[in-house]
């Protein structure tokens, strides 16, 4: 009876080993198709290379999070989602980062997206994009990093607010080079932002003033002054 139980256990172990061998080694579960969706500028093969995928990987050994991280860390994508479809297909869904504006630096421009991620460098203003002044020229800007990494600590709150979702499109110019910030809105209103304190309050005031003047058809506002206390001062044309 005891020997019989031992044989059953050994058989069960052997059976599990065979199943594991089939799962992890058999060509039945080898990735045969990798589909890439959402890419426009970046080729599918390039995205597969980012993920180090060649189509011979085992379905069960692949980890979606690991693939997503490899692709996302290139700095070229806003969103990456990997889906495994049993038994041998992978879907990679991406949203590419798109140029939103240029930053002027001493040897040309750097191209950034709406979240402040640096996409590329160019010597010529060959994009139909606004040019912003955010920092000085002492840094070597690296592709894939965020401009907030090159900004003084006390200025990061304002930079974070501007480079969130589509907020960057509210501005024609950002100047935070000095001790006080100056902004030019998309409607060409100059904002004397003042110090880098009370950022949320000041941005809310700017939005309210723009909304009110457009709704009430006031005389055209030329400047909003916020550097002299809590109460804004409007300068009309």
At 135-183, the pLDDT tens digits run 555 567 888 889 888 888 999 999 999 998 899 999 988 888 788 999 9
pLDDT, mean of residues 78-98: 92
- Joined tokens for residue 72: 């996302």
Q: Is the pLDDT of residue 1 over 70?
A: no
- What gap in Å lies between CA 168 and CA 102, rounded to an integer? 11
Q: Which residue has the higher pLDDT, 216 or 196?
A: 196
Q: Is the pLDDT of residue 218 over 80?
A: no
Let me know if domain 2-96 sits in CATH 3.40.50.1220.
no
Q: Which residue has the higher pLDDT, 128 or 212?
A: 212
Q: Is the pLDDT of residue 77 over 90?
A: yes
Query: Residue 159 in contact with residue 147, Cβ under 8 Å?
Result: yes
**Res. 8 pLDDT band, cuts 50 70 90:** low
pLDDT, mean of residues 218-232: 83
pLDDT, mean of residues 57-70: 87
pLDDT, mean of residues 23-31: 66
Query: Other C-beta atoms within 10 Å of 213: how many?
Result: 18
Question: What pLDDT sits at residue 27?
Answer: 64
Q: Is the pLDDT of residue 106 over 90?
A: no
Question: What pLDDT sits at residue 11?
Answer: 54
The CA-based diameter of the chain, rounded to the nearest angstrom, is 102
Q: Which residue has the higher pLDDT, 46 or 219?
A: 46
User: Residue 60: CB partners within 8 Å, gap ≥ 6?
Assistant: 23, 24, 29
Mean pLDDT, all residues of the chain: 84
Alpha helical stretches, state H, the chain: 2-25, 44-50, 64-72, 156-162, 199-216
Domain ranges (residues) in the chain: 2-96, 101-236
DSSP 3-state of 213: helix
- What gap in Å lies between CA 85 and CA 12, rounded to an integer? 29
pLDDT, mean of residues 53-57: 76
- What gap in Å lies between CA 94 and CA 92, rounded to an integer? 6
Query: Hey, what CATH topology would domain 101-236 get?
Result: Rossmann fold (3.40.50)
């Amino acid at each position: 009876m005891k020997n019989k139980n031992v044989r059953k256990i050994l058989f069960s172990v052997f059976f599990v080993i065979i199943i594991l061998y089939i799962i992890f080694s058999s060509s039945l579960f080898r990735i045969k198709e990798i589909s890439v969706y959402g890419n426009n500028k970046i080729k599918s093969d390039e995205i597969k290379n980012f993920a180090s995928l060649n189509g011979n990987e085992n379905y069960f050994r692949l980890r979606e999070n690991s693939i997503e991280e490899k692709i996302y860390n290139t700095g070229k994508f806003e969103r990456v989602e990997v889906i495994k479809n049993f038994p041998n297909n992978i879907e990679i869904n991406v949203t590419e980062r798109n140029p939103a504006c240029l930053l002027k630096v001493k040897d040309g421009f750097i191209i950034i997206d709406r979240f402040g991620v640096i996409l590329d460098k160019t010597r010529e203003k060959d994009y139909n994009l606004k040019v912003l002044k955010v920092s000085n020229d002492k840094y070597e800007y690296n592709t894939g990093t965020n401009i907030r990494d090159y900004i003084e600590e006390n200025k990061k709150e304002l930079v974070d607010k501007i480079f969130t979702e589509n907020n960057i499109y509210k501005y024609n110019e950002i100047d935070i080079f000095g001790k006080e910030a100056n902004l030019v809105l998309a409607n060409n209103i100059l904002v004397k932002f003042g110090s880098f304190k009370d950022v949320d309050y000041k941005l809310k005031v700017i939005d309210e003033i723009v909304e009110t003047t457009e709704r009430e058809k006031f005389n055209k506002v030329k400047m909003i002054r916020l550097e002299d206390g809590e109460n804004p001062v409007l300068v009309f044309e």
